[in-house]
Amino acid sequence: MSKYRLVLLRHGEGAWNKENRFCSWVDQKLSEEGVKEARDCGRLLKEQGYKFDLVFTSLLSRSIHTAWLVLEAMGQEWVPVVKSWRLNERHYGALIGLNRAEMALQHGEQKVKQWRRSYNISPPLIDESHPYYTEIYNDRRYATCDVPKENLPRAESLKEVLDRLLPYWNSTVVPEIQKGKTILISGHGNSCRAILKHLEGVSDEDIASVTLPTGVPVQLELDENLKPVKPRQLLGDQAKIQAAIKKVEDQGKAKQATK
């Protein structure tokens, strides 16, 4: 029997999503389409009768802005929003800023798929010579973290995303769910996939095929032990959702390389 409801949301399309680049910890804003996706998501959740008590986001603007737009569309701007780096997107290391399709041409589609979707394979580490290193690690937001800046990741597998996310999930998110609050997590593709893996017990192999398109809310119904009582539900027009999933999966194909 369902006791709790939780909604996971991958932020609306970002500027680099549109350009098919690894964005990760670079603080890109939402694209025009991403703004529309977030507002449409808010309207859908309002139509479905959702009343959120608390929202969690990462420290990245596209996650935070999505949450604001969703709450605005729902008429629930007053709902508290709590931010943590532990909900940040997966750190793609040296791949940050690169075009996925061009990388597939250079390294092969299978290698890019491993970097993007596998559970325990990490991309190459970012170092100080990387064009976005200083922008990321000199950003004032990371002085607010619960670990020293020098201990923040330089690249992550999905397993490492889950490892840094779980302490926050257990200490901060779970107690709020257990109080009976209806929670929205406005996160990223990989932070949301990590939560799904944890809650649903998805295998290391099967998590590679779990795809979350931007701006599509994922409804989870949980029992008193926070175990799903039914399969996750992606809310909205199912034909459009399947098309969006295919678009995400195609991002790593070499034939999409830009000239």
Residue 89 assigned to a binding site: yes
Strand ranges (DSSP E) for the chain? 4-10, 54-57, 81-83, 183-187, 217-222, 233-234
Residue 140 assigned to a binding site: no
Backbone angles phi, psi at 195, to 5 degrees: -65, -40
Residue 25 assigned to a binding site: no
101 neighbors 255 (Cβ within 8 angstroms): yes
Could you tell me which residues are beta bridge partners of residue 222? 4, 228
Place of tokens 């973290």: 145
Residue 120 assigned to a binding site: no
Residue 16 assigned to a binding site: yes
Closest CA to 217 of 241, 242, 253: 241
Place of tokens 């350009």: 19
Q: Identify the active-site residue in 11, 65, 130, 188.
A: 11
Residue 91 assigned to a binding site: yes
What is the distance of C-alpha 237 from the center of its chain? Answer: 21
For residue 164, the SS3 value is helix
* CA pair distance 135, 131, nearest whole angstrom: 8
40 neighbors 219 (Cβ within 8 angstroms): no
Residue 133 assigned to a binding site: no
* CA pair distance 36, 255, nearest whole angstrom: 28
212 neighbors 218 (Cβ within 8 angstroms): yes
Active site residue 150: no
Active site residue 11: yes
Q: Identify the active-site residue in 65, 89, 130, 188.
A: 89
Residue 107 assigned to a binding site: no
Residue 12 assigned to a binding site: yes
* CA pair distance 123, 119, nearest whole angstrom: 12
Residue 49 assigned to a binding site: no
Residue 225 assigned to a binding site: no
Residue 221 assigned to a binding site: no
For residue 187, the SS3 value is strand
Residue 141 assigned to a binding site: no
Residue 11 assigned to a binding site: yes
Could you list the residues known to form a binding site, using ranges.
10-17, 62, 89-92, 116-117, 189-190
Could you list the residues known to form a binding site for substrate, using ranges.
10-17, 62, 89-92, 116-117, 189-190
Question: Among all residues, which ones are annotated catalytic?
Answer: 11, 89
